[in-house]
């Protein structure tokens, strides 16, 4: 038997109502904040991710699904969404045509990570991006939106963590100090951190190896190296969060995993046992130089991504209507089946969901099926009903049954649902 590839999973029909609820809630809320949906290709030129994410990041060096196309070009399944959205903004001059450029995307991403609960090699994200706005109030709006989005999707308990990673003016000085400090501890670090200490020292701060934690806590903190402009920006973000009564905790180790981040970074961690160790459901921050680095205008950017697998797991249980249809039609015999086909069409045209047993099983089997799929009404049409021109309609909530003239059948169903 052929099975799903390791690190991928099928989202089965019993699960999809939860996913749809999250997606629908997100679309409604994002529209309220002025965001519009964009859909980019699932694969891009490899160079897009190498330039934007950073060649020394784990994503580019270890985790991307990259392949050669027939023309010799290198293509990569998208490991994250921001780079592709940025490419689209540049290619289609979206900043010139939209005075308030706010975009969101929902779709699958691909990374060859070790599969864990809530983490797959094909995973799904809600990505939210805003361009052309530099002031701290935009950072605060995006953070407030991220919390509102998690709340409306059903995740009621989470902690917001905040940091600043500086910019091109002040971060190099910090990276140099960090690299120097790491050299004195090199022999005591794990193999990954020894490698990262030279290639990408900021990533050491995100190490999860227990033996390294005491060393990392003693390392220099980036907030001590911020330039005046970055420090003022971060202080204003914090002031406005306090103004809006948004609780947060500072985390000097929060640097995110992508090279394009600047200044404000944030992360939301779920207080849910359902996720186990993988309890971060949302992360984001500023990336003011990304558009320019990719060949576009000098356009500021800020965004965040929500992992949908983790969000669905962490969301509080919300009662979902699992009823498959409003009316289940039970025709007994060939003449009745023809009449049922017409009735099914008319019910659907009127806006009702209707199903029929195309295998024409016996009455008991069809009634069991109607009960199993949660039909609200069962409409029976046998020889006796045909002779008298009626449907026998049973309300499955209270088992009441009554006869309805065939010409009024659709109208009767409509009246029942519309009160």
pLDDT tens-digit series, residues 383-406: 999 999 999 999 998 889 999 999
- What was the pLDDT predicted at 134? 92
Q: What percent of the chain has pLDDT over 70?
A: 93
Residue with tokens 């985790």: 63
The CATH homologous superfamily for domain 16-170+226-314 is Bira Bifunctional Protein; Domain 2 (3.30.930.10)
For the chain, the structural domain boundaries read: 16-170+226-314, 327-418
pLDDT in tens, 18-28: 888 889 989 99
pLDDT in tens, 185-221: 877 888 878 888 777 888 888 787 888 888 888 888 9
Instruction: For the sheet with 66-68, list strands across it.
Output: 43-45, 74-77, 66-68
* Average pLDDT of the segment spanning 333-342: 91
- What was the pLDDT predicted at 195? 82
pLDDT reading at 156 higher than 80:
no
pLDDT in tens, 65-105: 899 999 999 999 999 999 999 999 999 999 998 888 999 99
In this prediction, residue 296 has a pLDDT band, given cuts at 50, 70 and 90, of: very high
SS3 content of the chain, % helix, strand, coil (to 5): 45, 20, 35
Average pLDDT, the chain: 88
Which of 299, 219, 297, 232 has its CA nearest to residue 263? 232
DSSP for residue 114: P
* Average pLDDT of the segment spanning 349-378: 88
- β-strands 390-395, 400-405: how paired? antiparallel
pLDDT reading at 14 higher than 90:
no
Q: Does domain 327-418 sit in CATH 3.40.50.2300?
A: no
The residues, any chain, with a CB within 8 Å of residue 99's CB and separated by 6 or more, are none
pLDDT reading at 44 higher than 50:
yes
- What was the pLDDT predicted at 193? 83
pLDDT reading at 322 higher than 70:
no
List the structure tokens of 141.
């709006």
């Amino acid at each position: 038997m052929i099975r799903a590839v390791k690190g991928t999973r099928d989202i089965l029909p019993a699960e999809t109502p939860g996913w749809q609820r999250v997606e629908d809630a997100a679309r409604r809320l994002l529209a309220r904040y002025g965001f519009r949906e964009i859909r980019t290709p699932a694969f891009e030129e490899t160079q897009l991710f190498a330039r934007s994410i950073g060649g020394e990041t784990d994503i580019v060096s270890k985790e991307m699904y990259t392949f050669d196309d027939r023309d010799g070009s290198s293509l990569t399944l998208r490991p994250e969404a921001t780079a592709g959205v940025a490419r689209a903004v540049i290619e289609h001059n979206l900043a010139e045509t939209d005075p308030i450029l706010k975009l969101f995307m929902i779709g699958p991403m691909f990374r060859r990570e070790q599969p864990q609960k809530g983490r797959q090699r094909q995973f799904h994200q809600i990505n939210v991006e805003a361009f052309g706005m530099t002031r701290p109030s935009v950072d605060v709006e995006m953070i407030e939106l991220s919390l509102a989005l998690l709340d409306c999707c059903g995740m009621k308990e989470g902690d917001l963590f905040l940091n600043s990673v500086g910019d091109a003016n002040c971060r190099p000085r910090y990276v140099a100090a960090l690299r120097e400090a790491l050299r004195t501890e090199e022999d005591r670090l794990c193999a990954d951190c020894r490698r990262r200490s030279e290639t990408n020292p900021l990533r050491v701060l995100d190490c999860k190896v227990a033996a390294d934690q005491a060393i990392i806590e003693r390392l220099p903190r980036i907030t001590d190296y911020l330039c005046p402009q970055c420090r003022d920006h971060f202080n204003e973000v914090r002031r406005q969060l306090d103004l809006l009564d948004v609780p947060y905790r500072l985390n000097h180790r929060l640097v995110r995993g992508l090279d394009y981040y600047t200044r404000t970074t944030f992360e939301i961690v779920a207080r849910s046992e359902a996720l186990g160790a993988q309890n971060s459901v949302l992360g984001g921050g500023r990336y003011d130089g990304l558009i320019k680095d990719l060949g576009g205008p000098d356009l500021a950017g800020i965004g965040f991504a929500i992992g949908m697998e983790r969000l669905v797991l962490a969301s509080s249980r919300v009662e979902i209507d699992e009823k498959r249809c409003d009316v289940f039609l039970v025709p007994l015999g060939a003449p009745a089946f023809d009449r049922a086909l017409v009735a099914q069409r008319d019910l659907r045209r009127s806006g009702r969901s209707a199903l029929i047993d195309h295998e024409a099983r016996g009455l008991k089997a069809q009634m069991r099926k109607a009960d199993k799929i949660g039909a609200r009404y069962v409409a029976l049409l046998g020889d006796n009903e045909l002779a008298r021109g009626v449907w026998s309609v049973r309300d499955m909530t209270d088992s009441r049954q009554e006869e309805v003239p065939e010409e009024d059948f659709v109208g009767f169903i409509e009246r029942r649902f519309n009160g």
